[in-house]
Amino acid sequence: MTKDEIARVADLLRQFEREGPDNPQQGERLIAEVFRVCGQDVVESGFAQSDDGIDCYYRTTIAGKSQTIGVEIKANRQLVGASAVSYALDLHASGRFDRMMIVSRSGFTREAQAQAESLGVGKLDLLDPASLRNWIVRENEIPPVQLSRTELILTTAMRELALAIAGHPEELWKVEWRELEKLLREAFDGIGYESQLTRPAKDGGFDLELTAWDNGEKQTYLVEVKHWTTNKPGKSAVKKLIGVTASKSATGSLLLSSSGFTSTAYEGWTEYEKPERIRLGSGEKIVSLCKLYKRTSKPFWVPIDTPLETLFEGTRRLDGK
C-alpha cells in the first residue's frame, strides 16, 4: 500500500469508529472499502440481505494458501456478544468459508473473546478499529511514523526482546532499565496504544505517556518503570506518580516495578479520592504485557479489552485491592 492508501484507510476507520455509519449497510460498505484499499478481492453479498448469512467476504493469501474470509460487520455502539461468535463459528463449520471475521465498531464482551480464544483459534478473528489499524500496518510492514535506520534497528531489537520475555520470563532480568522502557514502548504500540517515551535526562515523574481511544474519547495514561535488582520502590514513588497524574489530568497511571514494592507503598492512601486510577504492577505484569504483545503481533488476533482494563489487568490499587 502507498502512503495515500494508508491515509485513506485511516480516514475510513476514523469515520467508522468515531462518527459511525448512518445505517448498517453504510457501515458494511465502509469496512468493505477498507479491505479493498488494502488490496483484497472483496465480494459484496448484498450486505444486510445476504443469502450467505454474511455481510461480505474477501479472498486473500495466508501462509501461501488461498483463503476465503467471511466477514460479519457490527456498526452499532453495543459490545458484540458470544451469540455472534457462535453464529460465525457455525458459518465456518458449514464449509463455505476458510475463515470467519467479525469487525465490531465497539469491541466485544469478555464472553465473546473467551469463546473465540477457546473455540475459534484458526477459524475466527475478532477485530475492532484499533486491531484493524495494527493489522494494516503490520501487513504492509510500514511503521506508523518514518523511522531512521538507527531507530528501525532499535525498534526491531526491542520487538525481539519483548518476544523473548514473553516466551522466557527470566530474560527480563538480562535487560537494562532504559532498554526495558524502550521495550515497553514497543509493546504498548503493538498492543494498540500510541506511546511516547520521555527523554532520559528529564524525569517528569513518568517514563511513558500512552494515548488510546475508548468509547469515542481520547484517553491519556502515564507509566513509570522501575527496574531495580535489589531495592523496591515505596511510598515516595507512589506519591510522585499521584502528583504527576493530577497535573497532567491523566485518565490513569501505572507504576511498574520488576522487583515488586515495599509494604509501605500501599499504606496511607485511604483518603485518596480515586485509588482505582493509580495502579501498581510487578514483574508478572511486565511479562503479561510482553505476552499480549506477542499475541497481537500475529496477522490475525483477538483484540484487547478497553484500554484502561488492559493497562490495569493483573495490577493492584493503592488500597491493596
Q: What is the domain extent for residue 245? A: 149-317
**Are 89 and 210 part of one and the same domain?**
no
**Are 158 and 208 part of one and the same domain?**
yes
DSSP 248: T
> What is the pTM assigned to this prediction?
0.60
**Are 108 and 190 part of one and the same domain?**
no
Q: Which among 140, 169, 199 is the end of a domain?
A: 140
The total number of structural domains that make up the chain: 2
**Are 136 and 196 part of one and the same domain?**
no
**Are 50 and 105 part of one and the same domain?**
yes
**Are 76 and 47 part of one and the same domain?**
yes
For the stretch 258-315, pLDDT in tens is 999 998 888 877 656 676 789 999 999 999 999 888 776 654 444 455 677 888 989 9
**Are 75 and 170 part of one and the same domain?**
no
For the stretch 92-109, pLDDT in tens is 998 888 888 898 888 889
User: 202 falls in which pLDDT band (50, 70, 90)?
Assistant: low
> Beta-strand (E) ranges in 136-244?
194-197, 208-214, 217-226
The answer, yes or no, to whether residue 30 has pLDDT greater than 90, is no
pLDDT of residue 299: 47
**Are 119 and 176 part of one and the same domain?**
no
Q: Which among 140, 170, 185 is the end of a domain?
A: 140
Contact 155, 142 (CB under 8 A): no
Contact 312, 219 (CB under 8 A): no
**Are 97 and 193 part of one and the same domain?**
no
For the stretch 221-232, pLDDT in tens is 999 999 998 889
Q: Which among 123, 140, 157 is the end of a domain?
A: 140
For the stretch 145-189, pLDDT in tens is 555 778 778 888 998 999 899 889 999 999 998 899 999 999 998
Most confident of 23-32, 120-129, 242-251: 242-251
Cβ contacts of 9 within 8 Å, gap of 6 or more? 1, 34, 37, 38, 136
> Beta-strand (E) ranges in the chain?
41-44, 56-62, 65-74, 99-104, 124-127, 194-197, 208-214, 217-226, 252-257, 278-281, 316-317
**Are 180 and 108 part of one and the same domain?**
no
**Are 187 and 84 part of one and the same domain?**
no
Percent of the chain with pLDDT over 90: 27
The answer, yes or no, to whether residue 48 has pLDDT greater than 60, is no
Average pLDDT of 14-24?
72
pLDDT of residue 135: 64
**Are 19 and 167 part of one and the same domain?**
no
Amino acid identity of 319? D
What CATH number has the domain bearing residue 168? 3.40.1350.10
Contact 55, 84 (CB under 8 A): no
